[in-house]
Amino acid sequence: MKCPFCSNGETQVVETRVAEDGDFIRRRRQCMACEKRFTTYERPDVTFPAVVKKDGRRIDYERGKLQGSMNLALRKRPVSTDQIDSAVERIEEKLLNLGVREIPSARIGELVMRELKKLDKVAYVRFASVYRSFEDIDEFKTLVDEVRR
């Protein structure tokens, strides 16, 4: 494994852990040259459904986009990286279990909102306000009232 800091090809595995759900392996590595540590994740290579955008385009599923949108909604919120990773894993598991070749982006957005609602109500409102493209303040107020209940 190449070091992400100095590009040295020699790294050593310092610690290996299996995730709680057993879906991936987390490895802490240390570079033999610069001695910095970094984490790698080992997970099975599986094929996710293609994402069908609102305009009809089909794109490949990208974990980074999903994680990025969740991180943006959860920015400056008291939610750990492990909690976010677990939520992303649950969403991906649902995508795989659907057994479909294509999935509308709207369906993925709904899965994200469901996970955010469990993690952090403020992040849920942030994501939903952008995702649902509210036209007026009353729609936003309805969402906030729904979360309060």
Is the predicted pLDDT of residue 132 greater than 80, yes or no? no
72-116 confidence digits (pLDDT tens): 999 999 999 899 999 999 999 999 998 899 999 999 999 999 999
Residues in contact with 24: Cβ distance below 8 Å, sequence separation at least 6, in sequence order: 18, 41, 42, 43, 89
Pairing relation of β-strands 58-59 and 50-52?
antiparallel
CA–CA distance, 67 with 84 (Å, rounded to integer): 8
Q: Which residues pair with 11 in a beta bridge?
A: 31
Closest among 145, 147, 148 to 113, alpha carbons compared: 147
Q: Which residues pair with 12 in a beta bridge?
A: 30
- Judge whether 122 and 79 are in contact, CB under 8 Å: no
Could you tell me the two tokens for 141?
């107020």
Q: Give residue for tokens 């040259």.
A: 33
Lowest mean pLDDT among 25-29, 43-47, 80-84: 43-47
pLDDT band at 143 (very low <50, low <70, confident <90, very high): confident
If one compares 77 and 132, the residue with the highest pLDDT of the two is 77
- Judge whether 37 and 5 are in contact, CB under 8 Å: no
Closest among 92, 107, 10, 4 to 45, alpha carbons compared: 92
Rounded average pLDDT over 119-132: 85
pLDDT, residue 31, reads 96
Rounded average pLDDT over 49-76: 93
pLDDT, residue 144, reads 79
Q: Give percent of the chain above pLDDT 90.
A: 66
Is the predicted pLDDT of residue 148 greater than 90, yes or no? no
Grouping H, G, I as helix, E, B as strand and the rest as coil, residue 51 is: strand
pTM of the model: 0.65
